[in-house]
Structure 1
Amino acid sequence: MSERVIAPKSRGFLFLDSHPGGCRQLVDEMWQAVPAPAPAGSEGPVALVIGSSAGYGLAATIAGLARVGIRGIGVCFEKAPARRTGTAGWYRTAATARLARQHGRDMVFLNGDAFSDTMKEQVADLLTERFGGRLDYLIYSVAAPRRTDPDTGTVYASVLKPVGSPYTTKTLVFDEDGAPEVKEVTTAPAEGDDIEQTVAVMGGTDWERWITFLADRSLLAEGFTTAALSYIGSPLTAAIYRQGTIGAAKSHLEGTARTLDERLGKTVGGRAVTSVNAAAVTQSSTAIPGIALYVGLLRGVLGDAMVAPIGQLVQLWDQLTGARPLDLDDEGRVRLDAWELDPAVQHAVAERWGTATSDTITELADLDWFSDEVRRLYGFSVLGIDYTAAVETDVPWPTP
């Protein structure tokens, strides 16, 4: 037993500890937000979610379990409790597994490097031994700083940089007292092999490797469908995102989807798509210059009309399973971001962006919401949690 009071301590948007009770409550809230859930104990399709513990991957896991009744495997990479608490994803995974058991869902969670062939072998063995040797769906949602190529041992590192010239943008920070500041930051452009390295980590190479590995083991069911989660975003952030190194990786991901779609259609009557999700506060997005300011302003414009990740992933599962028609754009992408990129919304956000300063930001952006969302990533600012009470931090990884 290792009970203690956990106070939120952060360096910028990065928190040093996570709160197990808050993480558990957040997972409960996400599950409860799923409409018309599948009956408890119903045996749904077999699914694999790669990147199942955070952001849109977590939403995909919970929406799949609650809405569709999936069974299968979630893969993520989290740190166990030690001197510090476990990572938030560790506690969220434990909470997701608990809910899956309560609702009669057979879901196994594996903790390790999704880029490795060792993990692919573990998954393939589990699919064979536990799930009848068939996989119906694969959701790919991986955001990582590095990837080791299993064939060569080469380690690639992704970077957040513009392409061609330096990029100067407004960004949102909070000082030591929590007061908001709007500052300008300049990011140097990509150089050398920055683009190639980022594509090697965040592009479609590993996604395609997963499909090939499982296909070679004859594990893809007839009609197998796979979706990689992506983002396009606003023109306001395009220079650092869609037109930057990450954008090059996203373009590679979309090209991979087209290749896989043709291949799967011929081999198993299946398909592959990218799903373009809309803006949200995630551990990955807060690291991108300008994104925090943009999302805060977007919330200031839309308020509760913003669609949370769990709502977006319910829509995606409905389309993948045929409950709703698959709604693709001209490039074959599922678009869940229409509400964000609506011209009227973008015009309103751009107007606020243009006048945003440290003096005006509290009037233009919903900073209370944004701050709470950042803290909720780590299990803080969750209603119903007594943060003055000691909580057990030594939560075990869920076993099947």
Structure 2
Amino acid sequence: MTERVIKPLGRGFLFLDSHPAGCAQVVRDMASQVERRAPERRTALVIGSSSGYGLATTIAGLARYGIDGIGVSFEKGPGRRTATAGWYRTAETDKLAKEFGRDFRWINADAFADTTKTEVLDLIAERWGGIDHLIYSVAAPRRVDPRNGETYQSALKAIGSPHTTKSLAFEDGAPVLQEVGIEVASEDEIAQTVKVMGGEDWARWVSALSERGLLKDGFNTVALTYIGSELTGPLYRQGSIGAAKADLEQTALTLSKDGVHAMTSVNGAAVTQASSAIPGIGLYVSLLHKVLGDGLRTPVQQSITLWDQLTGEAPLDLDDEGRIRLDRWELADDVQAAVRAQWESATQDNIAEVADTEWFLAEVRRLYGFDVPGVDYEAATEVDVVWP
């Protein structure tokens, strides 16, 4: 047993340590947003279950529909440093699942690896005989393809021409408005980004499940994605990441043609470990929260809506391209007009007034278990938490 007082040490939006008690409380706070219903004994596989929308979908599924199943993520345990935040969140989510009386297991492994797929599918076959839902929520910087041994690296770059964007940073806790230049991605960088963040691995999971006869009647699968605002479009949706998202959507269409009920779910903006690293996104989300306040729908609130649609409790809200739209609140014309006006008026002198910078920084710190109400950060906390 190793107890320590943990402080938020890091650089930029990256922290060296995570706070176990804070991460556990974040999970509890997320679960408190969900109205529980009578369990239906649905079985789900969530790829990317320890953070962001994957975590929110897991918690919402457990609390609202009592899902059984497996969560897959790739986290680092405690050592010289604390474990990753996702490690601690998973440990607490396991406690939550047990309290709900659910049979939910956790695999800590590389989701891209064929060995991971075999381990997961063997467990599904042994315990449940199949699954009703596959949620794919993977945001990774690189991928090793087990079929050819090649390593692909994702790139955060523009396509066609260089781009400059306003971006939010912090120095000693004070907001700083920056101008960040974005380089143009090469064709190889675009192709590698698609290999990492596109739909190839999602399709492999579906194929592996199908080949083993593990898709239950009525099975559906959804890959979580994002479109976002025109303000962030040149770097995100029209950039190298956008090429990968387009491939994800094309994969859904291809799987559907093969008889699988596959869709992408377009989620709204949120502060996640993946999004906070993208230039311009932090400023945009800070402005969005300033405009909407409590009207900004949390990942859990959006995940509740997603589960209601996946289970047939509510009709699917699809756009013309067959994508589930959970982001209509964000992209409403009046909301985007208000955010654009704030974006254009933002300067270093007024950034703390036109954007909700304090909220954004607190949300980033919460990703690592800090700034969570109800947690005593002066007290020592156990860091050697066992993976469930």
Which TM-score tier does this pair reach, normalised by the shorter chain? over 0.9
Equivalences for residues 111-126 of structure 1 within 5 A? 111-126=108-123
Choose which of 125, 131, 140 in structure 1 pairs with 2:136. Answer: 140
* Distance (Å, rounded) in 2 between the aligned partners of 1:278 and 1:230: 9
1:108 equivalent to 2:98? Answer no
Shift of 1:192: 4.2
1:235 partner SS: coil
Contact 2:164 2:182 in 1 (8 A): yes
Choose which of 328, 336, 339 in structure 1 pairs with 2:329. Answer: 339
Shift of 1:262: 2.1
* Distance (Å, rounded) in 1 between the aligned partners of 2:295 and 2:170: 26
* Distance (Å, rounded) in 2 between the aligned partners of 1:275 and 1:152: 30
* Distance (Å, rounded) in 2 between the aligned partners of 1:216 and 1:259: 17
Choose which of 76, 83, 88 in structure 1 pairs with 2:85. Answer: 88
2:259 partner SS: helix
> Residue by residue, what CA displacement relative to the aligned partner does 1:235-284 show, whole Å, maximum 9, x if unpaired?
0000000000000000000000011122135xxxxx11000000000000
AA of the residue aligned to 2:157 = K
* Distance (Å, rounded) in 2 between the aligned partners of 1:102 and 1:67: 13
* Distance (Å, rounded) in 1 between the aligned partners of 2:174 and 2:63: 39
Which position in structure 2 is the counterpart of 1:268? none
> Residue by residue, what CA displacement relative to the aligned partner does 1:107-160 show, whole Å, maximum 9, x if unpaired?
0000010000001001110011111x1111000000001111111001101010
Structure 1 unaligned regions, length at least 5: 266-270
* Distance (Å, rounded) in 1 between the aligned partners of 2:289 and 2:190: 31
Contact 1:43 1:71 in 2 (8 A): no
Change (3 A) 1:96 1:43: same
1:275 equivalent to 2:265? Answer yes
AA of the residue aligned to 1:30 = M
Which position in structure 1 is the counterpart of 2:230? 235
* Distance (Å, rounded) in 1 between the aligned partners of 2:358 and 2:312: 38
Which position in structure 2 is the counterpart of 1:256? 251
Contact 2:287 2:354 in 1 (8 A): yes
Contact 1:181 1:357 in 2 (8 A): no
1:292 equivalent to 2:282? Answer yes
Contact 1:43 1:105 in 2 (8 A): no
* Distance (Å, rounded) in 1 between the aligned partners of 2:90 and 2:339: 35
1:27 equivalent to 2:39? Answer no
Shift of 1:187: 1.2
* Distance (Å, rounded) in 1 between the aligned partners of 2:41 and 2:268: 27
Structure 2 unaligned regions, length at least 5: none
> Residue by residue, what CA displacement relative to the aligned partner does 1:292-312 show, whole Å, maximum 9, x if unpaired?
000000011111110000000
Which position in structure 2 is the counterpart of 1:155? 151
> Residue by residue, what CA displacement relative to the aligned partner does 1:203-222 show, whole Å, maximum 9, x if unpaired?
00000000001111111111
1:358 equivalent to 2:348? Answer yes
* Distance (Å, rounded) in 2 between the aligned partners of 1:230 and 1:192: 22
Equivalences for residues 1-20 of structure 1 within 5 A? 1-20=1-20
2:223 partner SS: strand
* Distance (Å, rounded) in 2 between the aligned partners of 1:29 and 1:44: 24
Contact 1:162 1:187 in 2 (8 A): yes
* Distance (Å, rounded) in 1 between the aligned partners of 2:19 and 2:241: 31
Taking structure 2 as the reference length, what is the TM-score of the superposition? Answer: 0.99
* Distance (Å, rounded) in 1 between the aligned partners of 2:43 and 2:292: 36
Contact 2:18 2:369 in 1 (8 A): yes
Contact 2:220 2:262 in 1 (8 A): yes
* Distance (Å, rounded) in 1 between the aligned partners of 2:69 and 2:55: 14
Choose which of 171, 174, 186 in structure 1 pairs with 2:167. Answer: 171
Q: State the Cα RMSD in Å.
A: 0.8
* Distance (Å, rounded) in 2 between the aligned partners of 1:43 and 1:338: 29
Contact 2:77 2:84 in 1 (8 A): yes
1:170 partner SS: strand
Which position in structure 2 is the counterpart of 1:309? 299
AA of the residue aligned to 2:317 = D
**Percent same amino acid among aligned pairs?**
62
1:184 partner SS: strand
Which position in structure 2 is the counterpart of 1:211? 206
* Distance (Å, rounded) in 1 between the aligned partners of 2:280 and 2:342: 13
Shift of 1:43: 5.1
Contact 2:37 2:64 in 1 (8 A): yes
Which stretches of structure 1, 4 residues or more, deviate above 6 A after TM superposition?
none
AA of the residue aligned to 1:38 = R
* Distance (Å, rounded) in 2 between the aligned partners of 1:173 and 1:43: 45
Which position in structure 1 is the counterpart of 2:320? 330
Contact 1:163 1:189 in 2 (8 A): yes
